[in-house]
């Protein structure tokens, strides 16, 4: 069993290293394609959204209060409010929804 764990860790380390090393080795010139640049620009935002969205839906007692908080956050963010304001309004809306629903 211990030998298998060491093999698993070694494979995971090599895979992680290759993922970080290969783009540096294979892509030496500046990327000039506007579609690839656009895609790479949005990767961090999409990654953050994919990590946060499930937590938004499943960290409350009711999925309805989570959806209410999410909708409030989207609306207030759309109208240009800052992050603190959007977060506080979303939290308050979830709190109030939880009081009403439960």
Structural domain span for residue 50: 2-101
Q: Shortest CA distance to 68 belongs to which of 82, 89, 85?
A: 89
pLDDT tier, 31 (very low <50, low <70, confident <90, very high otherwise): confident
Domains of the chain: total? 1
- For 36-77, the pLDDT digits (tens) are 899 989 999 999 989 989 988 888 888 999 999 999 999 999
Residue 7, burial from CB neighbour count under 10 angstroms (0-12, 13-18, 19+):
exposed
User: For residues 79 and 85, what is the distance between their CA atoms, to the nearest angstrom?
Assistant: 11
- For 82-98, the pLDDT digits (tens) are 999 999 999 999 999 99
User: For residues 74 and 92, what is the distance between their CA atoms, to the nearest angstrom?
Assistant: 14
pTM of the predicted structure, to 2 decimals: 0.62
């Amino acid at each position: 069993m211990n030998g298998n764990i060491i093999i698993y860790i070694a494979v995971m380390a090599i895979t992680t290293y290759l993922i970080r090393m290969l783009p540096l080795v294979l892509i030496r010139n500046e990327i000039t394609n506007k579609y690839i640049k656009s895609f790479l620009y949005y990767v961090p935002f999409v990654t953050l959204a994919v990590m946060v969205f499930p937590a938004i839906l499943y960290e409350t007692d009711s999925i309805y209060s989570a959806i209410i908080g999410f909708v409030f956050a989207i609306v207030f963010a759309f109208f240009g409010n800052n992050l603190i304001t959007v977060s506080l309004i979303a939290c308050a809306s979830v709190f109030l929804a939880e009081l009403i629903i439960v």
